[in-house]
Amino acid sequence: MAANGQVSIYDTTLRDGSQSEDVQFTLEDKILVAEHLDRLGVDYIEGGWPGANPKDIEFFRRMRDVSLAHSRIVAFGSTRKSGNRTMEDPVLRALVDAGTPVVTIFGKSWSLHVEDILGITRLANLEMIRESCDFLKQAGRELVYDAEHFFDGFRENPDFALDTLKSAEEGGADWIVLCDTNGGSMPWEVERAVREVKKVIRAPIGIHAHNDSELAVANSLTAVRCGASQVHGTINGIGERCGNANLISVLADLVLKLGASVTSARELSRLREVASFISEIQNRPLPKNQPFVGDSAFAHKAGVHVHAIRKNRRAYEHILPEAVGNTQRILLSEHSGRSNLAEKAREYGIPLDSDSPEAQKMLSTLKSLEHEGYQFEGAEASFELLMRSASRDYVPYFEIDFFHVRMEQKGTFEDGLSEATIRVRVGSSTEHTAALGNGPVNALDNALRKALGTFYARVNAINLLDYKVRVLAGAHGTASRVRVLIESSMDSRKWGTVGVSENVITASLLALKDSIDYGLLKSGTAPRG
């Protein structure tokens, strides 16, 4: 680690990250991402390759009018092309024209690439690196030199790989960044190479690790411990092939494990927010098991674990979840003990003694339902309703007396018609109504809302976000039991509910009923008696 413990963070989500399969950022997306990264305290934001496409050129132009509190915008490119004069090389000219305060260029460190891919001599490659760096420094830019394939080159020909770094330093590079481009290096290989580089290079060293061996974060931290003072990576580790070093984990590890001076505790508490935002922009869910920021990162399922953390959180949590913007979660399943139930009851504001007969009865009910196919890990709203319904004071918002679904097919399969009829009972009153829908579940949802709207106006504020059906294991083919999971929202709150039955329509209606019950409960609406 640098003598003063200072490590700068270089984010390449908008360039390297956008090379990930199925990831595409619009221009507006890129600006929003840059603003979030700035608020996180990232030092450098690599915005793209201005010589590669019009979107990146426009991004750099637009960012001139965006006020950033901390981050510096970086334009990315390559050394000049063989045979081009430096002053006339289009890539170098585009980098200067981008007008960013910082420029990054990559060059070849591996003789295989120099001779087999570029088809030039090693000496010519060294001249390209030195002249390109000198040109950009003469233009007044802070210069980051990215030594592409450095670790592969160092393994095969360490003297030549080190010579490429010396050429960049002679050209005036402010940073020399060692890139594990193929992502195949081991931590001990990174350690040896970084230590050798530190012996011959005076400029500060950085690390740019790819994740093809699931070691990008480990390799980045190893490099820092050996003296690197800049880390490259992407939010959530997105990037070409298997991705880049995940800056979410890198930041948390640097601050909380290595004690590096990177970002303040307040900014670190934004990690989950930023990780979720980047996933949302990609139209992807944040992986539940992502370290530090995933939903499961501090989730506890086994009864022994829950019993322990109620006494001391350190028993099964390596950091405080709040430090990275996350929260502790207690899960309910057939593995749960009475400690889990008591902890969940406390969260819901329901008095429950873990040693009471009520707790034992609730635990038996939970395990029985899970045996039938219920799963409450993704449907905690259903479980909260189950716990509340066990109270003598519980008053249901409504009951369903009966329902009927009719489907009619006309012409092609796209021309079908679904109609649902339903009768609900609210206290001593009933409402009998029907509605059409795009399929039987949608028709039921519409009919249920239509009937309940007579009694509860807030029912129309509840939105269905996601609907999943899973056929449970069994030997009954199309007669097997199914589990339906529904995700719903109202205002800024989201929740999940579950229904299980041999009939997919019935399972769907059970999940829909819980969804509306929970929405009304959390809206503060009182049940009508």
If you average pLDDT over residues 178-197, what whole number do you get? 98
What confidence score (pLDDT) does residue 71 get?
96
- Position 111 pLDDT exceeds 60: yes
- Position 23 pLDDT exceeds 80: yes
Where does CATH 3.30.160.340 sit in the chain? 349-395+463-529
Average pLDDT value over all residues in the chain: 89
> What fold does the segment set 398-455 form as a domain?
Double Stranded RNA Binding Domain (3.30.160)
- Position 133 pLDDT exceeds 80: yes
Two tokens, residue 319: 């950091």
What confidence score (pLDDT) does residue 233 get?
98
What kind of architecture, by CATH, is found in domain 349-395+463-529? 2-Layer Sandwich (3.30)
What confidence score (pLDDT) does residue 290 get?
96
- Position 68 pLDDT exceeds 90: yes
Q: How many other C-beta atoms are found inside a 10 Å radius of the C-beta of residue 203? A: 17
What confidence score (pLDDT) does residue 479 get?
53
More confident site: 378 or 482: 482
What kind of architecture, by CATH, is found in domain 8-263? Alpha-Beta Barrel (3.20)
Tell me how far apart the alpha carbons of residues 510 and 508 are, in angstroms, rounded to a whole number.
5
Instruction: Report the range out of 168-177, 396-405, 430-439 with the highest average pLDDT.
Output: 168-177
Least confident piece of the model among 178-192, 199-213, 219-233, 329-343: 329-343
- Position 320 pLDDT exceeds 90: yes
Where does CATH 3.20.20.70 sit in the chain? 8-263
- Of the pLDDT bands very low, low, confident and very high (cuts 50, 70, 90), residue 85 is very high
If you average pLDDT over residues 219-228, what whole number do you get? 97
- Position 337 pLDDT exceeds 70: no
The pTM assigned to this predicted structure is 0.72
If you average pLDDT over residues 74-89, what whole number do you get? 94
Query: In terms of C-beta distances under 8 Å and separation of at least 24 residues, what long-range contacts does 329-333 make, across chains too?
Result: 329/295, 329/296, 329/298, 329/299, 329/300, 330/299, 330/300, 330/306, 331/299, 331/300, 331/301, 331/376, 331/377, 332/366, 332/376, 332/377, 332/380, 332/383, 333/301, 333/366, 333/370, 333/375, 333/376, 333/377
- Position 309 pLDDT exceeds 80: no
- Position 477 pLDDT exceeds 70: no
More confident site: 518 or 480: 518
- Position 335 pLDDT exceeds 60: no
What confidence score (pLDDT) does residue 304 get?
75
Tell me how far apart the alpha carbons of residues 222 and 178 are, in angstroms, rounded to a whole number.
13
Least confident piece of the model among 313-317, 337-341, 488-492, 496-500: 337-341
What confidence score (pLDDT) does residue 1 get?
67
- Position 2 pLDDT exceeds 70: no
pLDDT digits (tens, 9 = 90+) for 255-268: 999 999 898 777 89
Closest Cα to residue 158, out of 120, 185, 197?
197
What confidence score (pLDDT) does residue 339 get?
63
- Position 399 pLDDT exceeds 90: yes
- Of the pLDDT bands very low, low, confident and very high (cuts 50, 70, 90), residue 140 is very high
- 150-188: burial string, b at 16+ Cβ within 10 Å, e else: bbbbbeebeebbbbbbebbbebbbbbbbbbbbebebebe
If you average pLDDT over residues 45-64, what whole number do you get? 92
With residue 156 as reference, give the H or E element that holds it: helix 150-156
What confidence score (pLDDT) does residue 271 get?
95
pLDDT digits (tens, 9 = 90+) for 406-454: 988 766 656 668 999 999 999 999 999 999 998 889 999 999 999 999 8
CA distances from 370 to 236, 338, 464, 472 (A): 33, 16, 24, 12
- Of the pLDDT bands very low, low, confident and very high (cuts 50, 70, 90), residue 157 is very high
